[in-house]
A and B are shown apart, each in its own frame.
Chain A
Amino acid sequence: MAMIAMILMVIGVFFFAMGTLGLWRFPDVYSRAHASTKCDTLGGGLILLALALKMGFTPAAFKFIVIVLLLWITNATAAHTIGRSAYKNKYPMREGSFTWKYQGGDEQ
């Protein structure tokens, strides 16, 4: 069981590294939000589930599961709020990316 937990933790750290790489390399706010929050949620969930697997069937494992559920709910909500705030304040997209009619218009 410890071997499976180690493999899951390595995969989780890999997703964290990819999220950080996306945060550095992507061109505008929206793509950075996409890369960072999605990979971050997956990496944290994998590492915490690996620790819960290693614990076995104990109250500590239940607390790990609670933290995972909390992270999944709060990260999605925070990413939505950040993207909505950026969009309503008309943060610019990258040149040449797909835009729709509300970007730059007066109506919200």
Chain B
Amino acid sequence: MFTEFALGIAVSLVLLMFCCLGRAIIGPTAIDRVLAINIIGTKTVVIIAVVSDVFGEVFFLDVAIVYALISFLMTIGVAKYLDTGTIS
């Protein structure tokens, strides 16, 4: 029963992710797009964790950790590029 419930949680998170993608498409400024992509990254980490519980594969959690780090690096890099015009 918990497995089906977790699958429902993952599907609802995917639907919310598409709503955030709409803000990333129509966002009036570049910072809005960065915010929306940041939320999509967080939701992806949570979905990977939920799916690891559904399939019973513990090593998906390592994937989630690495994805969180890469998403954080992307956000920091884009924000710094919008701030100063260079990444260095």
Q: Which residues of A are at the interface with B, using a C-beta cutoff of 8 A?
A: 2, 5-6, 9, 12-13, 16-17, 19-20, 23-24, 29, 32-33, 36-37, 40-41, 43-44, 47-48, 51, 54-55, 59-60, 63-64, 66-67, 70-71, 74-75, 77-79, 81-82, 84-86, 88-89, 91
Contact = CB atoms under 8 A, between A and B. Distances in A.
Given A9-B6, A51-B49, A75-B42, A81 B79 contact: yes
Q: Chain A's interface: helix, strand, loop or mixed, by majority?
A: helix
A82 to B, nearest CB: 5
A23 to B, nearest CB: 5
B7 to A, nearest CB: 12
A80 to B, nearest CB: 9
Interface of B: 1-2, 5-6, 9, 12-13, 16, 19-20, 22-23, 29, 31-32, 34-36, 38-39, 42-43, 45-46, 49-50, 53, 58, 61-62, 64-65, 68-69, 71-72, 75-76, 79-80, 82-83
Contacts, number: 128
B82 A44 contact: no
Given A47-B9, A59-B58, A82 B79 contact: yes
A55 B56 CA distance: 11
B61 to A, nearest CB: 4
Given A29-B29, A29-B31, A67-B61, A81 B49 contact: no
Contacts of B61: 60, 63-64, 67
Contacts of B32: 29, 32
